[in-house]
Amino acid sequence: MAVLDFDYMLGLIPILLGYLPLTLELAGIGMVLALILACLLAVVRVLAIPVINHFAIVFISFFRGTPLLVQLFLFYYGLPQLFSSLTVIGGVTATILGLTLHFSSYMAESIRAAIIGVDRSQTEAALSIGMTNGQLMRRIVLPQATRVALPTLMNYFIDIIKATSLAFTLGVTELMGATQKEAAGSFLYFEAFIVAAVIYWIVVELLSKLQHYLEARLNKAYSR
Amino acid sequence: MIELKSLSKHFGSTVVLENIDLHIEKGEIVVIIGPSGTGKSTLLRCINFLEQPTAGTLTVGDLTVDVNRASRANILAMRRRTAFVFQNYALFANKTALENIAERWLVVDRWPKEKAHRKAREILDRIGLADKADAYPASMSGGQQQRVGIGRAMATGAEVILFDEPTSSLDPEWVEEVLGLMKQLAKERQTMMVVTHEMSFARDVADRVIFIDGGRIVEQGPPSEIFHNPQDPRTKDFLKKILTTNPV
């Protein structure tokens, strides 16, 4: 068995870390947009708003039912073919679009379940003191649903971070793309990808820490 | 002043309330009794549109609404003139006792937070829970939660507070403190409609007792008449049953 080239690995760390900001940017923007879209979809589904509800059902079904990679290729290569004004849709834009639509469909379902789980009598209590539907969602239902949905949402956030690695197939040089290039130059594939794997791992671990902190905070109101 | 004219509620083909006519004066304490499943709770829920009534008109204060033509704005306005106390308290689990009470002022009346919280503390004082301002519902006893529920209703400044079996979910040890608070409100001549099986409360506090059976008002009058000289056989039958298990 060949010996690992540790010096190469050490030298690679700062180089690859230089591409981490782009990975985090893809993941961060994807998360925020997916969360906003998921909340809208979930509310549409819960209130069964006519017409849009059916649109939401089909939307969720499609984006949950097809591979993310297929969706990314569809946006990156397919959209410019349909709309000539989009002669170039950047790899970054296509990735963010794909991550947003794909993960919002999953997140919408867990947010919907969490909303339904909020005790119905609290909804009536909010209406009885004269709140509008919007006020009751914002002040009473969503804060409590957030607590229930948080662990699953954090899982999707972790998935999003890892899914950004697919952006390299669209020619985006993020952490995965940079690793691929480095490895192709040095032929030290194992060293390069183990460094990349550990970087992803550490980022995800930090996110898990954040999750525990948030859960503890949100559960404060519910402990006896 | 509250007035119901020919108020009806159907669930599909089931008639739950039929042509209820009722006039309640400001400051009047009305207790509604009757067998389970005869529309008592539905009557209260129709008055603040937690249930959409099927037909009739409803007046609370200066607002009269034909329930079939009630717009969203009408329903909201009607809800803001009435307050509701729930059997299972229904406190907002994500808010403290203080915040549960202040919520109406913060969100509906858009008061500044400082003023809403100051007024909420006054209510906490009146319901005897000043020391529980920062407690969340999960950490309070049933009796304390229901007192906060009543405090939240008081904060609405509504024309009428509707009590839907406010002590039915409580362990016996907490019933008295909740009834005590309700008696205090009655003394202050807060208009109240109370659905309850607490016959002693009805006897001691009510100005009028209404007996409902099968979705209709069968009999009504001062407690002394209803309890000691009921006219309708159904009233007699009901009182005989309930007074043996729940003596006045």
Q: Are B108 and A134 in contact (CB under 8 A)?
A: no
A80 has a pLDDT exceeding 90:
no
DSSP string, B53-88: -SEEEEEETTEEEEGGG--HHHHHHHHHHEEEE-TT
Q: Which domain holds residue A33?
A: 6-222
Taking all residues of chain A, what is their mean pLDDT, rounded to a whole number? 92
Residue B98, min C-alpha distance to chain A (Å): 13
Note whether A222 contacts B138, CB cutoff 8 Å.
yes
**pLDDT confidence bin for A219, thresholds 50/70/90:** confident
Cα gap B50→A127, rounded to integer Å: 8
Sheet arrangement for strand B2-11: B14-24, B2-11, B55-60, B63-66
Quick one: average pLDDT of B170-182? Answer: 94
Q: Is A124–B156 a contact, with Cβ atoms under 8 angstroms apart?
A: no
pLDDT of residue A4: 87
In a domain, A1, yes or no: no
The answer to the question of residue A188 being in a domain is yes
**For chain A, what is the domain count?**
1
Phi and psi based region of residue B49 (left: phi greater than 0; alpha: psi -120 to 50; beta: remaining): left
Annotate A117-150 with b (16+ C-beta within 10 A) or e (fewer): ebbeebbbbbbbbbbeeebbbebbbbbbbbbbbb
Task: Kindly list the residues from chain A whose CB atom is less than 8 angstroms away from the CB atom of residue B88.
Answer: 121
Kindly provide the ipTM of the predicted complex, given to two decimals.
Answer: 0.93
Q: What CATH number is given to the structural domain containing A218? A: 1.10.3720.10
Record: contact B50-A127, CB cut-off 8 A: yes
Question: CA gyration radius for chain B?
Answer: 18
* Interface contact B79-A139, CB threshold 8 A: no
Chain B hits for A122, CB-CB cut-off 8 Å, are 90-93
What average pLDDT does the segment B179-185 reach? 96
Q: Does B93 touch chain A (CB under 8 A)?
A: yes
Higher pLDDT, A2 or B247: A2
Percent above pLDDT 90 for chain A: 80
> What's the gap between Cα B168 and its chain centre?
13
Could you give the 3-state DSSP secondary structure of residue A54?
Answer: helix
> Computed over its alpha carbons, how large is the radius of gyration of chain A?
21
Residue A144: inside a domain: yes
pLDDT at B245 over 80: no
CB A147 within 8 A of CB A190: no
Contacting B residues, span 179-238, partner chain A, CB-CB under 8 Å: none
Closest partner residue to B108 (CB to CB) among A130, A220, A221 is A130
A134 and chain B in contact, CB less than 8 A: no
CA distance A133 to A126: 9
> How far does A144 lie from chain B, in Å, by closest CA?
6
User: What mean pLDDT comes out for the span A20-45?
Assistant: 95
Q: Are residues B108 and A131, on separate chains, in Cβ contact within 8 Å?
A: yes
Q: What is the pLDDT of residue B122?
A: 97
Chain B residues in contact with A126 by the CB 8 A cut-off are 92
- Our CA-based measurement puts residue B209 at a distance from the nearest CA of chain A, in whole angstroms, of 24
State which residue of chain A sits closest to B105, comparing Cα positions: A129
Q: Is residue A67 part of a domain?
A: yes
* A130, A139, A224 ranked by CB distance to B76: nearest: A130
Tokens 């009182």, residue located: B239
pLDDT in tens, A149-181: 999 999 999 999 999 999 999 999 999 999 999
Dump pLDDT digits (tens) for B99-136: 999 999 999 999 999 999 999 999 999 999 999 999 99
Residues of chain A positioned with their CB less than 8 A from the CB of B155: 129
**pLDDT value at B95 more than 70:** yes
Percent of chain A with pLDDT over 70: 98
CA distance B37 to chain A (A): 19
Measured between beta carbons, which residues in chain B are less than 8 angstroms from residue A134?
none
> Which residues of chain A neighbour B151 with C-beta distances below 8 Å?
none
